Structure 1
């Protein structure tokens, strides 16, 4: 393993390290590393901007987004955790803090006291609207290097890649 870069030096991602790899390295590996590098760069910047602009985290933003999509009916903790692809424990802690801040309401389910429903409060809807507008601008800025045609082609190709991956692991195509 190589030593860490000196202070002030740019961090090197796995894709960059593999750029000059011998021809024996598979094209698929380089592609996967490029996709990871892009996702990590964008996600890291979104996390940074959410923290600086709103004092919040990406998981909190994601939970608010799931509740916004669900509408007034809301979602159970289990539904939120499935949609966010995280454990119930992670969602429980985040939801409790959002409830305490008045952004999310929790209603008991009379049929099953263990299955409470979460929904956005009016304040939560307003706050999420502010955050999501900024988020949309940030994503547009971060992808501004691609033309509309490039974005459409990349979206189509990534959809095919997602379908192929699902098929390979025994799931349904995208």
Structure 2
């Protein structure tokens, strides 16, 4: 006889939780689970297809959105990572010829980081694949389902922002 599965995910564990906020917790865990599944698969595919990581992809994406470049501090804030993480990523991407540093005219101590032409081409390849992967992963949803989900997630975001602005506990 096979022993019962002792691994229980957090959402299943809620089945035995008392009434009240159980549905709210289940919804939060389901959203988190979906996001984690998609992210893990994107990470895997970036590694296999481009020998890169999601942070490197995100770094290049930030620079793609800012043709005039960004300071390391701006990238750090946008990516919500430490300056040390940005410094290390920037050094490796610069070594590979994907980004370049440029001194700021007004302050020679400050630098902006920009994609090189090679970096633009590489990011274009990666972002096209990324877009296809996301479409594939969400391909089981109809256009109607995607539209409904977008509307519900927009309402969810507004609800969360409202709760935050009201100074919740």
User: After TM superposition, is the score higher than 0.5?
Assistant: yes
Q: How far off its partner does 1:133 sit?
A: 0.7
Q: Give the Cα separation in 1 of the matches to 2:72 and 2:130.
A: 24
Q: Structure 1: where are the runs of 5+ without partners?
A: none
Alignment match, 2:26: 30
- Is the Cα–Cα contact under 8 Å of residues 77 and 115 in structure 1 kept in the other structure? no
Shift of the 170–31 alpha-carbon distance from structure 1 to 2, 3 Å rule, reads: same
- Is the Cα–Cα contact under 8 Å of residues 99 and 105 in structure 1 kept in the other structure? yes
- C-alpha RMSD of the superposition: 1.9
Answering whether residue 134 of structure 2 is matched by residue 143 of structure 1, we say no
Alignment match, 2:118: 123
Secondary structure of the 2:40 match is helix
- Is the Cα–Cα contact under 8 Å of residues 108 and 115 in structure 1 kept in the other structure? yes
Question: Across the two proteins, how many residue pairs are aligned to each other?
Answer: 161
Alignment match, 2:41: 45
Secondary structure of the 1:146 match is coil
Q: Among 64, 69, 72, which residue is 1:74 paired with?
A: 69
- Is the Cα–Cα contact under 8 Å of residues 109 and 116 in structure 1 kept in the other structure? yes
Q: Structure 2: where are the runs of 5+ without partners?
A: none
Q: Kindly report which structure 2 residues correspond to 1:1-174, keeping only aligned pairs within 5 A, or say none.
A: 13-18=9-14, 20-22=15-17, 24=19, 26-71=22-67, 73-170=68-165
Q: Give the Cα separation in 1 of the matches to 2:12 and 2:53.
A: 28
Larger Rg: 2
Secondary structure of the 2:66 match is helix
Q: How far off its partner does 1:113 sit?
A: 3.6
Q: How far off its partner does 1:93 sit?
A: 0.9
Shift of the 46–12 alpha-carbon distance from structure 1 to 2, 3 Å rule, reads: farther
Q: Give the Cα separation in 2 of the matches to 1:13 and 1:134.
A: 31
Q: How far off its partner does 1:95 sit?
A: 1.1
Q: Give the Cα separation in 1 of the matches to 2:113 and 2:10.
A: 39
Deviation above 6 Å: which 4+ runs of structure 1?
none
